[in-house]
A and B are shown apart, each in its own frame.
Chain A
Amino acid sequence: MKILVGYKRVVDYNVRIQVKPDGSGVVTDGVKLSANPFDEIALEEALRLREKGVAEEVVVVTMGPADAQAHIRNGLAMGANRAIHVVTDAPLQPLTAARAFLKLVEKEQPGLVILGKQAIDDDANQTGQMLATLWGRPQATFASKLEVSGDTATVTREVDAGLETLEIDLPAVVTTDLRLNEPRFIKLPDIMKAKSKPIESIPFADLGVAVGGEQTLSTFAPPEARKKGVMVKDVAELVEQLKANGLA
């Protein structure tokens, strides 16, 4: 089977975000960009399924501006067979991204789509669920274990109450949680090999994605700062402070 993997470029998780003074967004100029960590886990899982002989082909999908090519090459260097780059300068909201994914799904007919559970920039946690719904196929979100056997998959999900197991028919959409796997590092020879792997560029407008349901993000503000705290020197002082706050 073929596996489609979402591979979003986001501000690196180590960067301390600065909100622009005019509230129009966050500062992204000159800021380090990386693959969304959950998407790296998604790609790793797809590669492992290919190594097990479950999948024949792994295709990474990026939706972003023309300069995302270096990012896409990273996905290819990690081991994807080929890439699809949906070229758009506008940040896509989850519903639009899901509709665009659906167009690719119709074209590629994958047996499995693996996405990250959320992107660490918009923290929406929606695209996978929306894609599954529009596609009319099963979803297994927050996966920490994925086993494919024939036409079904058994997925362990990290839910608030513990670990839930679902059995789903394929094709389906799976979204990854942190503990699904440890993504591999990219090796230098693989970067060279990635240069000859195909990238198909599709202008967003050519996909014919339906519009509507778009939200307006009007103002960005930094979170309210907490009041400066006090340092205490020993347990006695700590207990005193707790008592003063009515907590002991």
Chain B
Amino acid sequence: MSKVLIVAEHLGGQLNPATAKVVAAARAISPEAIDVAVLAADPAAVAAEAARIEGVSRVLAVANPANEHPVAQVYAPQVAKLAEGYSHVFGPSTTFGKDLMPAVAALLGTGQVSDLMSVEGPSRFTRPMYAGNAIVTVEVPADETVVATVRVASWQAAAGGGSAAVENVAVDATLPTHTRYKDLSQAKSDRPDLQSAQRVVSGGRGVGSAENFEIIYKLADRLGAAVGASRAAVDAGYVPNEMQVGQTGKIIAPELYVAVGISGAIQHLTGIKDARTIVAINKDPEAPIFEIADIGLVGDLFKVLPELEAALS
């Protein structure tokens, strides 16, 4: 029988919503247990949050001052120790999971399934390759631990309302001191988080400048949406990089995605293909974004957006 260990992602004492999506993927294996490991300096608050996710059997709280920041080479030896007795070790396909999980896999002497999209069996999964243009069935040798990052955009978060037991666990692992965390600089935003938002409005090169992005923020606020951007808009310096949506940025699956002034390069489309409804507003009728848009409008964004905002109020 399968037993799944999930590594929780958290920041500032709050559990990342991606964790509940990883639980959903774990449940698709129909395992006998799903345990969540919370590594932190003080894991209590995050562990309590994780315990409420439906389907979680136990939460393993690993308190250690060395775990204050998520340094992959510090977390990995601990996760590899905890992995003993588990058939599967999962993490989210976020920068946290992508950084950590291959290190865990290497310690366990196994490969990793990146961006797990669907479960076909306990050791059979699908994942995207070639910027999402090929979906590949991957089989892990049945006698090996399955280490995977779960593609967050492919799974609906497991519900809350659970009440798993929280156990404090001591892990006996030698931790390196060769990597030292210095700081994290975050762009401040009151808007919903891009990765978990139900609605997202994104701007591209067509927006023209950082000042002009105000028009995108206004529409987003009207819709209660998060704001994203194409790589072109990030490279041009209109917005910070953490807003980038695409193969090399964030992969999202909101209910509504509004692409404004975005032509729709392959690398951008990869990031939004799973959105329920895609709306494209672009002045170029030939823009590839219209090939995948559910609703397309050819027009000047500086005229269309204020009109749209007024019509929605």
Would you mind naming 20 contact pairs between A and B with Cβ atoms under 8 Å apart?
A: A17-B133, A19-B133, A26-B134, A98-B106, A129-B102, A133-B73, A134-B106, A140-B179, A141-B99, A159-B99, A212-B144, A213-B144, A220-B129, A222-B134, A223-B133, A230-B296, A235-B311, A236-B311, A242-B295, A247-B256
B1 within 8 A of A: no
Residues of A within 8 A of B247 (CB): 120, 123
Q: Among B95, B240, B242, find the residue whose CB has the most chain A CB atoms closer than 10 A.
A: B95
Which residues of B185-235 have CB atoms within 8 Å of chain A's CB atoms? 185-187, 195, 199, 231, 234-235
Using A125-B102, A214-B111, A222-B133 as known contacts, say yes or no to A229 and B182 having CB atoms under 8 A apart: no
B78 within 8 A of A: no
Q: Which of A16, A142, A167, A177 contacts B180 (CB 8 A)?
A: A167
Cα–Cα distance between A141 and B179 once the two chains are bound (Å): 12
Q: Which residues of B contact A (CB under 8 A)?
A: 11, 71-73, 76, 94-96, 98-103, 105-107, 109-115, 128-141, 144, 176, 178-187, 195, 199, 231, 234-235, 240-242, 247-248, 250, 255-256, 266-267, 273, 277-279, 290, 292-299, 304, 307-308, 311-312
Is chain A's binding surface mostly helix, strand, loop or mixed?
A: mixed
Q: Mark A88-107, 1 if CB is under 8 A from B, else 0.
A: 00000111001000000000
Cα–Cα distance between A158 and B112 once the two chains are bound (Å): 22
Q: Is the CB of B99 within 8 A of A178?
A: no
Q: Which residues of A contact B (CB under 8 A)?
A: 11, 13, 16-17, 19, 26, 93-95, 98, 120-127, 129-130, 132-134, 136-142, 144, 154, 157-169, 172, 177-179, 212-223, 226-227, 229-239, 241-242, 245, 247-248
Residues of A within 8 A of B137 (CB): 217-221
Residues of B within 8 A of A127 (CB): 102
Using A94-B102, A232-B296 as known contacts, say yes or no to A160 and B250 having CB atoms under 8 A apart: yes
Q: Is the CB of B134 within 8 A of A159?
A: no
Q: Among A13, A98, A161, A178, find the residue whose CB has the most chain B CB atoms closer than 10 A.
A: A161
Cα–Cα distance between A123 and B139 once the two chains are bound (Å): 17
Q: Is the CB of A163 within 8 A of B105?
A: no
Cα–Cα distance between A141 and B141 once the two chains are bound (Å): 28
Using A26-B130, A160-B96, A239-B308 as known contacts, say yes or no to A215 and B295 having CB atoms under 8 A apart: no
Q: Is the CB of B241 within 8 A of A168?
A: no
Residues of A within 8 A of B299 (CB): 234
Residues of A within 8 A of B187 (CB): 162
Q: Is the CB of A129 within 8 A of B242?
A: no
- Shortest distance between the CB of A148 and any CB in chain B (Å): 15
Q: Which of A130, A142, A162, A220 contacts B240 (CB 8 A)?
A: A162
Residues of B within 8 A of A137 (CB): 178
Q: A132-B73, A157-B95, A218-B139 known; 4 other A-B pairs, CB under 8 Å?
A: A95-B112, A178-B248, A213-B141, A226-B292
- Shortest distance between the CB of A175 and any CB in chain B (Å): 9
The 6 closest A-B pairs by CB, nearest first: A129-B102, A133-B106, A126-B102, A162-B186, A165-B182, A130-B106
- Shortest distance between the CB of A104 and any CB in chain B (Å): 16
Cα–Cα distance between A137 and B76 once the two chains are bound (Å): 12
Cα–Cα distance between A13 and B100 once the two chains are bound (Å): 27
Using A162-B185, A219-B137 as known contacts, say yes or no to A123 and B110 having CB atoms under 8 A apart: no
Using A120-B130, A242-B279 as known contacts, say yes or no to A231 and B136 having CB atoms under 8 A apart: no
Residues of B within 8 A of A134 (CB): 106
Cα–Cα distance between A139 and B296 once the two chains are bound (Å): 44
Is chain B's binding surface mostly helix, strand, loop or mixed?
A: mixed
Residues of B within 8 A of A136 (CB): 176
Using A216-B138, A230-B295 as known contacts, say yes or no to A160 and B72 having CB atoms under 8 A apart: no
- Shortest distance between the CB of A97 and any CB in chain B (Å): 11
- Shortest distance between the CB of B153 and any CB in chain A (Å): 13
Residues of B within 8 A of A159 (CB): 95-96, 99, 184, 242
Q: Is the CB of A161 within 8 A of B11?
A: yes
Residues of A within 8 A of B129 (CB): 26, 121-123, 220
Q: Which residue of A lies closest to B198 (CB)?
A: A247
Residues of A within 8 A of B109 (CB): 212-213
Q: Is the CB of B179 within 8 A of A138?
A: yes
Cα–Cα distance between A158 and B311 once the two chains are bound (Å): 38
Q: Is the CB of A221 within 8 A of B255?
A: no
Q: Which residue of A lies closest to B125 (CB)?
A: A215
Residues of A within 8 A of B139 (CB): 215-218
Residues of A within 8 A of B140 (CB): 215
Residues of A within 8 A of B304 (CB): 235
Cα–Cα distance between A159 and B273 once the two chains are bound (Å): 22
Q: Is the CB of A231 within 8 A of B296?
A: yes
Q: Among B11, B178, B298, find the residue whose CB has the most chain A CB atoms closer than 10 A.
A: B178
Residues of B within 8 A of A129 (CB): 72, 99-103, 106
Q: Is the CB of B256 within 8 A of A229?
A: no
Q: Which of B181, B195, B231 contacts A160 (CB 8 A)?
A: B195
Q: Which of B71, B144, B295 contacts A232 (CB 8 A)?
A: B295
Cα–Cα distance between A115 and B58 once the two chains are bound (Å): 38
